[in-house]
Amino acid sequence: MKYPLLLLGNLYRTMVRIRLCEESFVEPILSRDVLCPCHLYSGEEAVATGICATLTARDYIFGNHRSHGHYLAKGGSMEGLVAEIYCRETGCSRGRGGSMHIVDMDCGMLGAAPIVSGTISLALGAALAASIRKEDRVAVTFFGDGATGEGVLYESLNFAALMKLPIVFVCENNFYATHMPIRDCRVSSSIHKIAEPFCIESHEVDGNDILQVYEAGRAAIDKCRKGEGPVFLECLTYRFRGHVGPDDNIQGDHTDIRPREEVERWFQNDPIKKFENYLVSQNLIAELVLDSIKKEVGKEVADAHRFAKSSPSPDSKEVMNYVFA
């Protein structure tokens, strides 16, 4: 299929923005300039990028404990994200949420939460509201393979199917629920098949192939807009860093519970390098242009860190503000 060059460039830029932003937190985490727990999205960029590229500003997304990438892919502010992770007043959640509670109504990021499967039912409610109001909105819920052990997912699948709601369930299957291999907690590793008893269309997607994710996302979103939802997508991917925070895999010291050979194999399947090879080999975007994009994004990330560090912390006198009594 022939894709517009503008689309290809935007997909690449979004993935690079996520990767460089995530990797920029490694040093601040290790030096304890960043104190909130950070679940880095490095390696999984194609999922958020491909799905969110098919959405409009009016559509909703809901995240989880590893949602920096979802927020940036949906059009969130780099400065707002970095400032939030430094817990500064200028952050997208005004410094109250940190890494795992990202909210930005302006770009349709209605919330992320560290409770496993905690936002699936919230996305369901948003889809129900859109359906009742006859609004042209689709809700997307991003969750990990560990969420398939929670009952709320199955309740939500059933209700979404009954009501034909405009919701896409996106399971980012990175093969580990925290530190437990999927083979140790599921009889079947084919997660997308859990949607079949609810008569929900479901697909397994190569989550490290940006164009495959984009096509699957576009088809799913189109079905939802036509009132033919919901849709379930299982995106097979892999995190390059530890479950929470950085680890030493990339520096060469293997401290991960995951087998070294497995980690190295997935490094060879890097979604960004994979896309770069495709763009250059097909003479779609020159390598010099890709390098220029990386430099531009690198400056954006560096500027965001400077902005965050110069921003004020929340006023302790306002600790009870912005909460429900």
Q: Which pLDDT does position 198 carry in this prediction?
A: 98
Three-point CA angle 29, 302, 208, nearest 5°: 70
- Report the CATH number that the domain containing residue 124 is assigned in CATH: 3.40.50.970
| Nearest-angstrom CA–CA distance, 232 and 197 | 12
Q: Which pLDDT does position 185 carry in this prediction?
A: 83
User: Is 314 part of any domain?
Assistant: no
User: Is 92 part of any domain?
Assistant: yes
Is the pLDDT at 251 greater than 60, yes or no? Answer: no
User: Is 286 part of any domain?
Assistant: yes
Would you place residue 250 in the very low, low, confident or very high pLDDT band (cuts 50, 70, 90)?
Answer: low
The H or E element that residue 6 is part of is: helix 5-23
Q: Which pLDDT does position 253 carry in this prediction?
A: 59
Is the pLDDT at 14 greater than 70, yes or no? Answer: yes
| Nearest-angstrom CA–CA distance, 41 and 36 | 15
Mean pLDDT across the chain: 94
User: Is 313 part of any domain?
Assistant: no
Question: Helix 5-23 vs helix 45-52: angle between axes, to the nearest 10 degrees?
Answer: 140
Is the pLDDT at 267 greater than 70, yes or no? Answer: yes
pTM for this predicted structure = 0.93
| Nearest-angstrom CA–CA distance, 189 and 244 | 23
pLDDT per position as a tens digit, 84-125? 999 999 999 999 999 999 999 999 999 999 999 999 999 999
Are 63 and 140 contacting, i.e. CB atoms less than 8 angstroms apart?
Answer: no
More confident residue, 178 or 111: 111
Average pLDDT over residues 34-39: 94
Number of domains observed in the structure of the chain: 1
Q: Which pLDDT does position 245 carry in this prediction?
A: 87
Per the structure, the complete domain to which residue 122 belongs is given by 5-308
Is the pLDDT at 288 greater than 80, yes or no? Answer: yes
Is the pLDDT at 264 greater than 60, yes or no? Answer: yes
Q: Which pLDDT does position 242 carry in this prediction?
A: 87
The CA distances from residue 280 to 244, 272, 277, 284, 298, in Å, are: 34, 12, 5, 6, 21
Q: Which pLDDT does position 323 carry in this prediction?
A: 75
* Side-chain half-sphere exposure of 229, counting CA atoms within 13 A: 34
User: Is 14 part of any domain?
Assistant: yes
User: Is 324 part of any domain?
Assistant: no
Is the pLDDT at 272 greater than 90, yes or no? Answer: yes
- Strand 201-206 and strand 139-144: the pairing is unpaired
* Cβ within 8 Å of residue 16, ≥6 positions away: 272, 293, 294, 297
User: Is 137 part of any domain?
Assistant: yes
Q: Which pLDDT does position 255 carry in this prediction?
A: 61
Q: Which pLDDT does position 270 carry in this prediction?
A: 98
